[in-house]
C-alpha cells in the first residue's frame, strides 16, 4: 500500500523543516567566513548541531553528521576522569623492546584481556590486575585497555587514582556518596596504584579500606569488571584485608601479572641510570 500524502502532512513537514532551518540559522548568525566558523565551532560542517540540511532530489533532508561519533567519545572520556595526557596511552606506543620478559608478559596479558573482554565481562573472572614494580608500565597498559573500551566498545569507564582520589574525597565529603555510587555502578572501574606505599608502608587507613571494600564487594557481587594496578602483590593485599584481597584475586585470577626483578631494568624512569 502506498503512502497517501495529505495537505496536512505537507504542512507538518514544512513546519518541521522551518524549525530545523531556524535552529541552524541561530548558530550561523553573525558568522562571516570559514575562518570564523572554525574558531567558533568544533565541527564546521554542522556547526555543532550534530546534523545539517542537505538537498536530495529537491527535498531538504536532515543528515546526521559524522561528528556525532566524536562527541560520543568525548562525552565518555570526559566522564571517565582520564586526562588528555593519559588518553594518549595506547598499546601501540607502549615500549617493551629491550625490557625483561615479564614486561612483554604484562603487555600480552593486557592485550588478551581486551580481546577477550566481551566474552568474559559478565563472568566472575572478568578483571585484570598488573602488580609490582613501579615505573614498569602498569598504568600505561591498563589505561590503554580503558581507552580502547571507551573508543571501540562504547563503554563508560571510571578512572580512580587511589592516592589523589581519596585525598579529593576526604577534602569534599559532599561528593563522597555520588563518587562511590559511580565507582560501584560504572561499567568498568580502573583503580590505579591501589594502596600506594609511602616509606614502604601501604596506604590503607580504616576509612580507605571501608570505602574500597564497599566498592569492590559491590562489583564482585554484580560481576562488574575491575582494572587494578598496585605496587603490592596479591599476598600483601590479602595481608591488608583478606576479604578484599581474595575478592580481587578471584576476579583477576585469569589475567594477572606480578612484575618483579631488577628495578634498573624494569623501571623506565631509571633509564638514565642504566645508560649512564
> pLDDT category, 275, cuts 50, 70, 90?
low
Span 124-174, pLDDT tens digits? 999 999 999 999 999 999 999 999 999 999 999 999 999 999 998 887 777
The CA distance from 75 to 264, in Å, is 39
Burial label for 81, CB within 10 Å (0-12, 13-18, 19+), is middle
Span 27-74, pLDDT tens digits? 444 444 444 444 577 777 777 777 766 777 777 777 777 766 776 777
With 60 as the cut, is the pLDDT of residue 276 above it? Answer: no
Taking domain 71-275, whether its CATH number is 3.40.50.300 is answered by yes
Q: Residue 252 has which C-alpha cell?
A: 583477576
With 50 as the cut, is the pLDDT of residue 105 above it? Answer: yes
- Contact predicate 225/126, CB 8 Å: yes
Q: Angle CA(172)–CA(176)–CA(182) in degrees, nearest 5?
A: 135
* Domain layout of the chain by residue ranges: 7-65, 71-275
Amino acid at each position: 500500500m502506498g503512502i497517501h500524502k495529505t495537505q496536512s502532512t505537507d504542512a507538518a513537514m514544512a513546519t518541521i523543516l522551518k524549525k530545523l532551518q531556524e535552529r541552524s540559522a541561530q548558530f550561523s548568525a553573525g558568522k562571516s567566513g570559514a575562518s570564523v566558523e572554525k574558531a567558533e565551532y568544533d565541527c564546521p560542517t554542522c556547526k555543532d548541531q550534530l546534523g545539517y540540511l542537505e538537498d536530495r532530489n529537491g527535498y531538504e533532508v536532515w543528515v546526521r553528521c559524522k561528528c556525532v561519533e566524536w562527541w560520543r567519545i568525548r562525552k565518555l572520556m570526559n566522564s571517565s576522569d582520564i586526562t588528555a595526557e593519559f588518553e594518549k596511552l595506547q598499546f601501540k606506543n607502549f615500549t617493551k623492546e629491550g625490557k625483561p620478559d615479564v614486561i612483554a608478559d604484562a603487555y600480552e596479558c593486557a592485550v588478551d584481556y581486551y580481546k577477550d573482554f566481551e566474552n568474559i565481562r559478565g563472568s566472575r573472572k572478568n578483571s585484570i590486575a598488573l602488580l609490582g614494580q613501579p615505573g614498569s608500565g602498569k598504568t600505561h597498559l591498563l589505561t590503554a585497555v580503558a581507552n580502547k573500551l571507551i573508543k571501540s566498545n562504547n563503554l563508560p569507564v571510571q578512572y580512580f587514582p587511589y592516592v589523589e582520589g581519596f585525598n579529593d574525597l576526604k577534602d569534599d565529603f559532599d561528593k563522597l556518596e555520588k563518587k562511590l555510587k559511580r565507582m560501584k555502578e560504572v561499567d568498568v572501574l580502573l583503580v590505579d596504584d591501589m594502596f600506594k606505599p609511602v616509606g614502604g608502608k601501604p596506604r590503607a587507613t580504616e576509612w580507605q579500606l571501608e570505602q574500597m571494600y564497599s566498592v569492590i564487594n559491590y562489583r564482585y557481587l554484580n560481576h562488574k569488571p575491575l582494572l587494578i594496578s598496585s605496587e603490592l602483590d596479591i599476598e600483601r593485599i590479602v595481608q591488608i584485608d583478606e576479604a578484599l584481597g581474595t575478592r580481587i584475586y578471584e576476579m583477576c585470577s585469569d589475567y594477572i601479572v606480578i612484575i618483579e626483578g631488577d628495578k634498573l631494568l624494569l623501571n623506565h624512569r631509571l633509564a638514565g641510570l642504566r645508560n649512564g
